[in-house]
Structure 1
Amino acid sequence: MSKFIIATAAFGALAAAALGLAGTAAAFPQGGTAADTAASLAAEGYRVAFNGSVSAPLSECAVTGTHPSLNASATRAEKENTTVFIDVSCPSKD
């Protein structure tokens, strides 16, 4: 009985996490390069900073995430006071 309760609780937690991540993933611009994402966020009024080793031009780097979660209903003033950190993965230059 206790194994059933633990399994049910674990499934519920995973389902909730998946739904939460789906909202976050939709919040930042999909597709394109780190340069495209930075330009898009800056055009909306956000300040932009990068996480990761930027060892190549941003046009060659992929976006792996953004922090914090973006609020689609944020005002321009709220956006101007928010720094969005873009997680990037760049190819190594060997």
Structure 2
Amino acid sequence: DYAILLLLLGIGGSGVLMKYVWEPDVDAVHHFVFGLNPGHPFAPAPLGDPLFLFHFTMVMTLMMVFPFSKLLHVGGIFFSPTRNQPDNPREVRHVTPWASR
């Protein structure tokens, strides 16, 4: 639990630092990120921007940990009964098939 909090704080903190204090070379970051996509020419990581590399590594770590962590429970709101069942108990009486016999 604490590791994920540290990841989130590290991502947010490094993002704020990159925005306001130490701006990375946007062109190098652009070529690096697009170079990760298949079909684009590969561009090496911008080694002159250690804060970007730290931020990028933290984001990739969070993406690897996310499916196995408690953070995935946030998506459960879309599968909860209040979202996927009709709200018409006054119009239609819902009786289970085994109780209607």
State the TM-score, normalized to the length of structure 2.
0.25
* Larger CA Rg, structure 1 vs 2: 2
Q: Which has the higher contact order (CA 8 A, sep 6+)?
A: 1
Report the TM-score when normalising by structure 1. Answer: 0.26
More strand by share: 1
Question: Between Structure 1 and Structure 2, which shows a larger proportion of helix residues?
Answer: 2
